[in-house]
Structure 1
Amino acid sequence: MPLYKNQTLKIYNTLSGDKEIFTPIHDGNIGMYVCGPTVYSNVHLGNLRTFMSFDVIFRYFLYLGYKTRYVRNITDAGHLTDDGNIENDRFVKQSRLEKLEPMEVVQKYTVDFHQVLEKFNFLPPTIEPTATGHIIEQIELIEKLIADGFAYETQGSVYFDVFEYNKRGLNYGELSNRNVDELFANTRDLDGQNEKKNSQDFALWKNASPAHIMRWKSPWGEGFPGWHLECTAMSTKYLGERFDIHGGGMDLKFPHHECEVAQGKACNGTTPVNTWMHTNMLTMNGLRMSKSTGNYILPMELISGKNSFFEKKFQPNVVRFCFLQAHYRSVLDISNEAMLASEKGFFRLLEGVKLLENIPSNTTSSFSVADWSQSCHDAMNDDFNTPILIANLFEGIKYVNLINDGNETITAKDLDLFTQTLHSFLFDILGLKNEKDTQHNNEKLEGVVNLLIKMRMEARANKDFAMSDQIRDQLIELGIQLKDGKEGTTFTIQ
């Protein structure tokens, strides 16, 4: 029997504002769509946090035995920051900046996205569709919306008619709790400022100017799709007109996800998603991360140590562990102190895992392993509460140390359950890897080589070239090649 048959899972639904008992539309099967990256630049830490949260959720569904179709798209066209100005197309702007074709920009940053996620031990989604690969589906949806009176064409562009949508008793604003009627009252008269009927209307298709590079043929002329429509087309194609979970960062709640709700209801006559999930923001040193203020760091800079915010480099495991110590709906703040504490805590867990390999069994257990195991499940069943789960794992490691010291006992059967539970939650569900020894050895090796480099520099300064050459040659014999440059000496391991 699958584990989910014995577990009651509750998920916070943004649409209702409450935790709800999760019941899949189709028994034993889950359809989950998460808005993926817009690949015009390197994936940033805030994105990483969102995708990491849903990676853990995906892992937990698989652990429970659900057959899960996880769709995470790639936005590679049509991401406008302003429906009224096609010059704000991020791909076109970046292609001009880097002097590359837009699809070169897409390829460059899609590869970067995959490489970063692989570093942090993400499972790949079941399906990873691209917006440019689903132009036909988007055109078909637009044609249906026009035919049903929910959209209108003007000057080669097509817009969703929010006023008409609300006039039919539907509720644009239900996801983000916005009163759109009040907005209409304040902004109804546009005095011909643009081609929309109302300022709240959003683009389904944009007419491409002669200078616009990314363009496709359509019944309304050459143009490109609206950002919101892309996700509706891809999610419904692979998950159906109504599916279980749609996720993303809280910054996407409005307008992006609000528009998806409206498009789904207008096209198919039903709300498209049962449960909407949104992750909270990430800050650094108590401040919002922003390129403009300089309070900004990329994931690879964090793990390479090439930054001015952190005193050392941190392995991806430690970063992942730090992120998961905050609930996905809470603000996560990272700092040098937080990363150092996470590193210490993570290594303490791994020391307990190693110690567990040689724990002796007894005829009795002095504590309830079944209750502890269930507490780990209960934490994840309560809206994927990874901080509580991690606290329970530390409690389990405390028992391991007590057993090792002879102050607690455990039966062979309970030891099997304990080991299985610990490994499942730490490695399979949280997605951490048992790499402490490798990391520590690498850091020790790096420290020793840097010390020898310093000694060599001092020997050369003292004109002791024999010692300098001896250090270099003996390192070469060990497979460590030194390279002297303008900015100092570096080394590579052959």
Structure 2
Amino acid sequence: MQLYNTNPIKIYNSLTGTKETFKPITEGYIGMYVCGPTVYSNVHLGNVRTFMSFDMIFRYLKHLGYKVRYVRNITDAGHLENDADEGEDKITKKARLEQIEPMEVVQRYTVDFHNILSIFNFLPPSIEPTATGHIIEQIELIETIIKNGFAYEVNGSVYFDVHKYNETKDYGVLSKRKLEDLIHNTRELDGQSDKKNPQDFALWKKAEPQHIMRWPSPWSDGFPGWHLECTAMSTKYLGEQFDIHGGGMDLKFPHHECEIAQNEAAKGKSPVNYWMHANMLELNGQRMSKSTGNTVNPDELLSGNNDFFSKAYAPSVIRFFIAQSSYRSVLDLTDDGLLASEKGFYRLMDAVNNLKKLKASEISSIDINAWQQKCYDAMNDDFNSPILIAHLFESVKYINQVKEGTETLSSKDLALFANSINAFVFDVLGLQNESKTEAGSDKLSGAVELLIKLRQQARANKDFALSDQIRDELAEVGIQLKDSREGTTFSTN
């Protein structure tokens, strides 16, 4: 369906701070890169919100007929905690704590990431490159930046020269920060003596003897800087300049700022035309934080096994809740909010299912073309899913009116109406059709399957007490687990 010629899209560009009419570099084709997870722990619910926003954007662009190459990376190379220049990397730290290989950590949490996204009905990206699979490209990029005079090597590590870069470019163009302010606010840290200036960031770090994840390079056995991988992988698969770069608001500085600087230093051009940033997810009005205990992970939200919510919620209910807020707005996750979204979701599903039962008339009393255009106008206005959902509830009213006989639709308009609703509800928003009755059994199955997965993880970690507890407590409520070579199944009494 080739709609993009007649439906201009406006995107809020973080680079300019304004909504701009979207014009792809190549007509009909879009290149989009989104920063993926660092796979050292279970995927954070806030990250799921970010990835879900860009999944919806990916879906809509495909619906419009664009050929989209969507690249979302996996950070599987160990980087230092908080992107510092000294300390212990996240993946190696996890491997040391669990006494396993770093790549076992990577595999475990990459699988978890894919499982969670599959539960929420994400489309897979076109390409999902890994940082460890692109070490050569990162080394070549560093060599180019050194050759162009914007990086220097000290004791086996390579740093980007921010001050030299800022002589001719603008370090801070995305985050609207001034280098002078960064200099003033920078505190001296131990281990920064190798740098010319505290604001310089690592392109390559020489590995300490105890550092497990390391690769040979012209400067030392070491590992690449965190910012470098996204520059290397995005430009490899999307070109030196591409259309859209997305990620969470927390990545704007320093990560995305450094990406721009690296590409300018290496290629002499800014890499991205439209920078898009999804906002943060809060829990009960406060920032999610492991240190304060104000956090819930996707498994806990789906299973109901948490201290914050009154019940388990279906994946599509959670997805619907997230879509009811603009991707650029801070979203507060609350039990009341999810309960309200659950009611709205099942009301919409009931209407979609009733749509199949409507009978056509000779004439239409409802202007379906006008309604359809309002839906497109909403999504074309910076992917405004809350307004789209408002128009979908307008369609619920139409369905009920036609069902009751107070309004009519011709066969042509009824077909257009059905196709449009299905496209926006399922193809664009990515919801899955289920009635409230069906959801009960689906939720039970989903919750038990989740507990089976947690039990398998417990057994893999040799936590047999937890494994037995899950089996025994399920048995107490009439759910029997059966282990076999093919896996674990369950039955209800």
1:407-442 Cα distance to aligned partner (Å, 9 max, x none): 111111110111010000000000001122421345
Q: Which amino acid in 2 is paired with 1:491?
A: I
- Inter-partner Cα distance in structure 2 for 1:251 and 1:97: 27
- Inter-partner Cα distance in structure 1 for 2:17 and 2:190: 38
Q: Which amino acid in 2 is paired with 1:173?
A: G
Matched, 1:422 2:410: no
Structure 1 contact 43–112 (Cα < 8 Å) conserved: yes
Q: CA deviation at 1:87?
A: 2.2
- Inter-partner Cα distance in structure 1 for 2:295 and 2:117: 19
Structure 2 contact 85–202 (Cα < 8 Å) conserved: no
- Inter-partner Cα distance in structure 1 for 2:185 and 2:5: 51
Corresponding residue number in structure 2 for 1:457: none
Give the structure with higher Rg (CA): 1
Structure 1 contact 484–490 (Cα < 8 Å) conserved: no
Partner SS state of residue 244, structure 2: strand
- Inter-partner Cα distance in structure 1 for 2:191 and 2:228: 25
- Inter-partner Cα distance in structure 2 for 1:193 and 1:353: 60
1:338-369 Cα distance to aligned partner (Å, 9 max, x none): 11111110000011011111112112211210
Q: TM-score, normalised by structure 2?
A: 0.89
Q: How many residues align?
A: 458
Corresponding residue number in structure 1 for 2:479: 491
Corresponding residue number in structure 1 for 2:439: 439
- Inter-partner Cα distance in structure 1 for 2:169 and 2:197: 17
Corresponding residue number in structure 2 for 1:404: 403
Corresponding residue number in structure 1 for 2:458: none
Matched, 1:316 2:304: no
Q: CA deviation at 1:239?
A: 0.3
- Inter-partner Cα distance in structure 1 for 2:444 and 2:138: 55
Corresponding residue number in structure 2 for 1:161: 161
Corresponding residue number in structure 1 for 2:132: 132
Corresponding residue number in structure 2 for 1:340: 339
1:144-174 Cα distance to aligned partner (Å, 9 max, x none): 111111000001100000000011x200000
Bigger mean CA offset, 283-292 vs 432-441: 432-441
Q: CA deviation at 1:378?
A: 0.6
Corresponding residue number in structure 1 for 2:147: 147
Bigger mean CA offset, 432-441 vs 279-288: 432-441
Mark the CA change 1:101 to 1:373 in structure 2 (over 3 Å): closer, same or farther.
same
Q: CA deviation at 1:185?
A: 5.7
Mark the CA change 1:174 to 1:418 in structure 2 (over 3 Å): closer, same or farther.
same
Q: CA deviation at 1:80?
A: 2.4
1:189-211 Cα distance to aligned partner (Å, 9 max, x none): 99995211111100000000001
Corresponding residue number in structure 2 for 1:270: 269
Mark the CA change 1:119 to 1:189 in structure 2 (over 3 Å): closer, same or farther.
closer
Mark the CA change 1:411 to 1:201 in structure 2 (over 3 Å): closer, same or farther.
same
Q: CA deviation at 1:186?
A: 6.4
Mark the CA change 1:66 to 1:444 in structure 2 (over 3 Å): closer, same or farther.
closer
Q: Which amino acid in 1 is paired with 2:440?
A: H
Equivalence map 1:59-458=2 (5 Å): 59-82=59-82, 85-167=85-167, 169-184=168-183, 193-436=192-435, 437-442=437-442
Structure 1 contact 87–93 (Cα < 8 Å) conserved: no
Bigger mean CA offset, 225-234 vs 95-104: 95-104
Q: CA deviation at 1:284?
A: 1.1
Corresponding residue number in structure 2 for 1:475: none
Mark the CA change 1:445 to 1:225 in structure 2 (over 3 Å): closer, same or farther.
closer
Q: CA deviation at 1:216?
A: 0.3
Structure 1 contact 84–194 (Cα < 8 Å) conserved: no
- Inter-partner Cα distance in structure 2 for 1:486 and 1:133: 42
Q: CA deviation at 1:42?
A: 0.2
1:83-117 Cα distance to aligned partner (Å, 9 max, x none): 65432311111111221111111010000000000
Corresponding residue number in structure 2 for 1:39: 39
Partner SS state of residue 5, structure 2: helix
Q: Which amino acid in 2 is paired with 1:2?
A: Q
- Inter-partner Cα distance in structure 1 for 2:473 and 2:441: 26
Structure 1 contact 190–198 (Cα < 8 Å) conserved: no
Q: CA RMSD in A?
A: 2.1
Q: Which amino acid in 1 is paired with 2:165?
A: Y
Q: CA deviation at 1:403?
A: 1.0
Partner SS state of residue 215, structure 1: coil
1:433-464 Cα distance to aligned partner (Å, 9 max, x none): 11224213456999xxxxxxxxxxxxxxxxxx
Q: Which amino acid in 1 is paired with 2:16?
A: S
Structure 2 contact 235–241 (Cα < 8 Å) conserved: yes
Bigger mean CA offset, 187-196 vs 372-381: 187-196
Q: CA deviation at 1:490?
A: 3.9
Mark the CA change 1:192 to 1:395 in structure 2 (over 3 Å): closer, same or farther.
closer
Structure 1 contact 174–258 (Cα < 8 Å) conserved: yes
- Inter-partner Cα distance in structure 2 for 1:107 and 1:486: 29
- Inter-partner Cα distance in structure 2 for 1:104 and 1:416: 51
Q: TM-score, normalised by structure 1?
A: 0.89
Partner SS state of residue 273, structure 2: strand
Q: Which amino acid in 1 is paired with 2:77?
A: A
Mark the CA change 1:84 to 1:353 in structure 2 (over 3 Å): closer, same or farther.
closer
- Inter-partner Cα distance in structure 2 for 1:68 and 1:328: 20
Corresponding residue number in structure 2 for 1:462: none
Mark the CA change 1:307 to 1:444 in structure 2 (over 3 Å): closer, same or farther.
closer
Structure 2 contact 301–313 (Cα < 8 Å) conserved: yes
Corresponding residue number in structure 1 for 2:54: 54
Could you tell me which runs of 5 or more consecutive residues in structure 2 were left unpaired when the two chains were aligned: 447-470, 481-489
- Inter-partner Cα distance in structure 2 for 1:387 and 1:90: 37
- Inter-partner Cα distance in structure 2 for 1:30 and 1:13: 16
- Structure 1 segments of 4 or more deviating over 6 A? 188-192, 443-446
- Inter-partner Cα distance in structure 1 for 2:114 and 2:191: 44
Bigger mean CA offset, 74-83 vs 259-268: 74-83
Partner SS state of residue 62, structure 2: helix
Q: CA deviation at 1:184?
A: 3.3
Q: CA deviation at 1:5?
A: 1.1
